[in-house]
Amino acid sequence: MRKVAIIGTGMTKVDKHWRKSLKELFGEAGIAALNQTGSPAIDCLIVGNMCASDLSDQNNIGALLADYLGFVPNTAYRVEAACGSGGAAFLAAYSAVASGMYDVVMTGGVEKLTDGVGGNTTLSLGKAADAEYELFYGSSFVSLNAMIMRYYMDHYGVPREAFADFAVLMHRNGSRNPFAQLPFEIKRETVLNSDMISDPITLFDCAPVGDGAAALILCPLEDAKKYSDDFVEVAGISGATDTINIASRESLLSFRSTVTAADRAYRMAHISPADIDVAEIHDTFTITGVLSLEDLGFCERGKFHKMMMNGAFEPGGVVAVNPSGGLKSRGHPVGATGAYQIAELFLQLTGRAGKMQVPDASIGLAQNIGGSGSSTYVTVLRRV
Amino acid sequence: MRKVAIIGTGMTKVDKHWRKSLKELFGEAGIAALNQTGSPAIDCLIVGNMCASDLSDQNNIGALLADYLGFVPNTAYRVEAACGSGGAAFLAAYSAVASGMYDVVMTGGVEKLTDGVGGNTTLSLGKAADAEYELFYGSSFVSLNAMIMRYYMDHYGVPREAFADFAVLMHRNGSRNPFAQLPFEIKRETVLNSDMISDPITLFDCAPVGDGAAALILCPLEDAKKYSDDFVEVAGISGATDTINIASRESLLSFRSTVTAADRAYRMAHISPADIDVAEIHDTFTITGVLSLEDLGFCERGKFHKMMMNGAFEPGGVVAVNPSGGLKSRGHPVGATGAYQIAELFLQLTGRAGKMQVPDASIGLAQNIGGSGSSTYVTVLRRV
């Protein structure tokens, strides 16, 4: 299996991009990545997206974007794993390069959730759940996660305020990110006093709905220097699943998909959680972020709050978590989120993260969840 | 790059499966494939689907089906390339095994086009086209192909009846296929006198709308004997693209994506079109089948009719084309079609195709198109 490097990235700011189509969004990110790498010929494009069929009347996005970016007649297709689509596309792209089938592959994700031509964003996002056993009965994506949060609070005796503090940290981080959708600081009271969405989840427990695209260019590690002086190695990668409906699980206090994917990725990279300098974790809701911290092995179960308040998840602590602001503040264009996470780690590991920079970051981890934990993609990157 | 084998397949009959869900359809195909191979542990599931978000309110189908088939916590995701989704999923699965990332991978496709909970099948299929430059202006999938057919007839002076004869051959073949949706013979007049859909395309020029699933199990060629006595080698594989909207093309008389994918797959397999014994080609409409014959190198441009009437595309001729009945008679559950094609070749090359059997078939080709030629996946299989 060939070793694989990331040689370039591009992102759009996450925002309400009412004047930009899917093509224009991914085009902006893709061209930025190409410009970083001397515009090599792209042998294959593998792009993550969840909602374009519902909200933009567009499938066949691989061909659409290959056409727009000038990659025709080369291979292109879309990968979908709900909110994990970007991570799943990255995994497919990794194996496309590792296998020797393709030398230079562009991957990434694009999502346009606002100002679509059709559909309903809440319903579209709900299709990540089990249509027959969850969606049909009126469950929404947020209501399923609200049940998990309530159970967690009761089980560990963790107060609701502790989750608000997670959101405060994310917004503090995101206020330094030029690509963030919500680049401003908030107070604990902002979360507690914001509108109730699905008890106990309030508006500021939730990642915002936004549009965006991120692109990444991969090639064999041995060829990386041909294209760029700044590249990182993909040291570990794994995708794992759990039951699609949360009622079938043994526990709601942990996402088995994250535990499995992390364990496999750590073993592949020959590291343990303690070796990670910077992590971009999947905090769709504050509860999702907290479970992720635990499932990835960054903190003891039920004990995140004290650690967090002592700076454990900031530079100089146990691991710098979401210096980008995470889904909460950077934003969550669902099918692109996994690609944003990896693009942000690329900036960190090549020392170009600006005000977000974690000093001396050399190993980074991205964790991208699809559905309410029904799939997770974990990627470990290493500075070369 | 590891060599890859197909060790087992399963299919449902293509039909209006009003009493079966996506899970039950793919489950039936997947379990049949597992039973053929001694039920090995599946390391990864990569499944093709186009319309489930629109018609079944269901995304995240990788996790859904991995859960149903008992593959949790292993990797699973969906691949989408419109009607080419099955072929694209197979390509992703091929690289997953070839890379060494996964040892035993299930791929395939599932589609439920009838009796969905929501949406509109014609609109959903139209999303394979360019939403902004084709769909928005009222083009449907059939109207785009009708323009291509009209232009072909005018350019080469080929009469409309010649296309009807292609449909007659497909139905003759399909009448021997126990999994076909329309397993009956028709006459030239059946096509000519059937309802006009989009001039000059009539109802019997079109593949039917149906539900179905097909599954395939892949492993490294060197391990194939562990699982089955009957296996075939994936000798060549390629995916290629063209512009998504047909107005941007240099020619409508050929699909560049098919020409490119075929050329690359032939070179990888070290063969020429003359070496193919049996081909499953993508005949969404009779015109699509005819262009495919030409683009794959099986006949001179504009000359298919005389060759066809002389038996060139039947066993003993140049190449046996669509012994399954093709999309026209076997049926076209869009995201599953590419998987059906490969499953049917597997039966041919292992001598288990029953009344459809092409004598001494040793090399087979599958050609799966997404959109109106915006992407094509070509796979060459070899009897071992």
pLDDT tens per residue, range B298-351: 999 999 999 999 999 999 999 999 999 999 999 999 999 999 999 999 999 999
Which value does ipTM take for this structure?
A: 0.97
Sign of CA dihedral B361, B369, B191, B343: positive
Instruction: Assign A117 a pLDDT band (cuts: 50, 70, 90).
Output: confident
Is there a contact between B72 and A243 (Cβ–Cβ < 8 Å)? yes
pLDDT tens per residue, range A252-275: 999 999 999 999 999 999 999 999
Q: How many beta-carbon contacts under 8 Å exist across A and B?
A: 230
For residue B209, what pLDDT is reported?
Answer: 96
Kindly give the parts of chain B with pLDDT less than 50.
none
Interface contact flag, B81 A77, Cβ < 8 Å: yes
Instruction: Assign A177 a pLDDT band (cuts: 50, 70, 90).
Output: very high
Q: Is A188 on the interface with B (CB under 8 A)?
A: no
- The mean per-residue pLDDT over the stretch A64-68 comes to 98
For residue A208, is pLDDT > 80?
yes
Nearest-by-Cβ selection for A76 from B57, B59, B241: B241
Q: What is d(CA A279, CA A366) in angstroms, rounded to the nearest whole number?
A: 6
Is there a contact between B8 and B33 (Cβ–Cβ < 8 Å)? yes
Is 0.80 topped by the overall pTM? yes
Q: Is A239 on the interface with B (CB under 8 A)?
A: yes
pLDDT tens per residue, range A70-88: 999 999 999 999 999 999 9
Q: Is B374 on the interface with A (CB under 8 A)?
A: yes
For residue A359, what pLDDT is reported?
Answer: 97
**Residue spans of alpha helices (H) in A58-159:** 61-69, 85-98, 121-126, 141-156
> Hey, is A342 helix, strand or coil?
helix
Interface of B with A in 327-356 (CB under 8 A): none
Instruction: Assign A115 a pLDDT band (cuts: 50, 70, 90).
Output: confident
Fold of A128-208+236-383: Peroxisomal Thiolase; Chain A, domain 1 (3.40.47)
> In CATH, what number does B121-208+240-255+275-330+358-370 get?
3.40.47.10
- Strand (E) positions, chain B? 4-11, 44-48, 75-80, 105-111, 196-198, 201-202, 212-220, 232-241, 278-280, 320-321, 363-370, 375-383
Please identify, in words, the CATH class of the domain defined by A4-120+210-227. Answer: alpha beta
For residue A250, is pLDDT > 80?
yes
> Hey, is B5 helix, strand or coil?
strand
Q: Where are the domains of chain A?
A: 4-120+210-227, 128-208+236-383
pLDDT tens per residue, range A281-329: 999 999 999 999 999 999 999 999 999 999 999 999 999 999 999 999 9
Interface contact flag, B50 A59, Cβ < 8 Å: yes
Active site residue B83: yes
Element spanning A75, H or E: strand A75-80
